[in-house]
Amino acid sequence: MSQILVVGSLAYDSIETPSGKSPKTLGGSANYFSLAASLLSKVRVVGVVGEDYADEDYQLLEKRNVDLSGLEKVKGKTFHWEGFYEGSLNEAKTLKTDLNVFEHFNPKLPEAFKDSQFVFLANIAPELQLQVLSQVKNPKFVGMDTMNFWISSKKSILMDVLKKVNVILINEGESQMLTGAANAISAAIAISKLGPEAVVVKRGEYGFILYHREHGFFALPAMTMPEVIDPTGAGDTFAGGFFGTLAGMDRRPSFEDMKKACVVGTLLASFTIQDFGVKSLAKVNMSALKSRRDEYKKTVSFEKDFVEI
Ligand code: AMP
């Protein structure tokens, strides 16, 4: 089993969805990613929190054996994101982003993290993504995420990060914003020309599209969930399931491996949306994941002869 190094935000989020409000809830891309990936592989976190970060929030990751030796606690406040969702809940609207301790963060990898084989640059300022990646000696497989906030404010650094990764996982709207493409399919093709050999476009309830430059497309809907309480973190959870699966296989990922990894990402994301913040994801175990896989299989597969043509 390989080690995954992740850099991303550890946050307190203030979220409003049609189901209600959840102020100062534990969130952040690195938290969702690590909770998901640590079910399947070993995770090392690089990030920063403020003095207000609660002990019980550290313990959540410690309980999953996540290595927190790259997590700094400094003077000031933890990153805070405030957002809301309307209608179909497929797109978060940002009201406020307080970078706080991330503003002056200068990540320095612990010596023991530098040999990490799998690296995930979760949603965080692109210069921090680059700074972390440059300290890893010889990674086997590198992935990234990003969001509209960075596409509009730091596009040229983001382009540098894109050149250095094997895969990007990105929301549909953001894939179009990044490329100017009119739909997710053409956006995926356009992004693969900017660097990554594989592109995963995340499409909320419509699922995902995986595009590989040599092997083409693989796409599935999301798990059919009648009630979505809070979609925050679904994308980061997907990425955690995706990377956790690949690192668990311990080889240079093939297209087939990535297809399986996308399915696991889909299954784990379906837990995250069932409650605010990380509440539901934190309770998932392997047996819950397996039964969800069995349920999902029923909705997405059929035998060839089922349709007589
Ligand atoms: P998603 O999986 O896309 O729903 O990610 C939601 C998480 O992203 C939230 O928990 C936020 O704390 C975090 N987030 C929001 N804006 C930013 C940002 N500009 N940089 C890093 N993380 C962010």
Average pLDDT, the chain: 96
Cα(231) to centroid(ligand 1), Å = 11
CB 28 within 8 Å of CB 54: no
Q: Within a 10 A sphere around the Cβ of 149, how many other Cβ atoms?
A: 15
- 17 CB less than 6 Å from ligand 1? no
Give the least confident one: 42-56, 84-98, 108-122.
84-98
Q: pTM to 2 decimals?
A: 0.96
pLDDT at 193: 98
Mean pLDDT for the stretch of residues 251-277: 98
Residue nearest to atom 21 of ligand 1 (CA): 124
CA distance 44 to 102: 18
pLDDT at 89: 86
| Test site for ligand 1: of 81, 271, 280, most ligand atoms within 8 A of the Cβ | 81
Confidence of residue 308 (pLDDT cuts 50, 70, 90): confident
Confidence of residue 86 (pLDDT cuts 50, 70, 90): confident
List residues bridging with 201 in a β-sheet. 170, 209
Q: Which residue, chain included where needed, has tokens 């946050």? A: 11
- 146 CB less than 6 Å from ligand 1? no
Give the least confident one: 15-19, 85-89, 117-121.
85-89
- Alpha helices, DSSP H, located in 70-167: 126-133, 148-153, 155-162
Q: Go through 198-216 and write b for each residue having 16 or more CB atoms within 10 A of its CB, e for each that does not.
A: bbbbbbbbbbbbbbbeeee
- 84 CB less than 6 Å from ligand 1? no
Closest by Cα among 106, 116, 144 to 45 = 116
Cα(198) to centroid(ligand 1), Å = 22
Residue nearest to atom 13 of ligand 1 (CA): 28
- 47 CB less than 6 Å from ligand 1? no
CA distance 254 to 22: 40
pLDDT at 88: 77
Confidence of residue 46 (pLDDT cuts 50, 70, 90): very high
Cα(10) to centroid(ligand 1), Å = 9
- 90 CB less than 6 Å from ligand 1? no
- 9 CB less than 6 Å from ligand 1? yes
pLDDT at 309: 85
- Alpha helices, DSSP H, located in the chain: 29-37, 55-62, 126-133, 148-153, 155-162, 172-179, 184-192, 234-249, 255-272, 286-300
pLDDT at 91: 83
- 236 CB less than 6 Å from ligand 1? yes
Q: Ligand 1, closest atom to CA 237?
A: 2
Residue nearest to atom 11 of ligand 1 (CA): 28
Cα(33) to centroid(ligand 1), Å = 11
Which residues have C-beta within 8 Å of that of residue 83, sequence separation ≥ 6? 13, 14, 15, 16, 92, 93, 94, 95, 232
- The pair of structure tokens assigned to 26 is 């534990």
- 129 CB less than 6 Å from ligand 1? no
pLDDT at 149: 92
Confidence of residue 16 (pLDDT cuts 50, 70, 90): very high
Does the pLDDT value for residue 250 go beyond 90?
Answer: no
Cα(298) to centroid(ligand 1), Å = 32
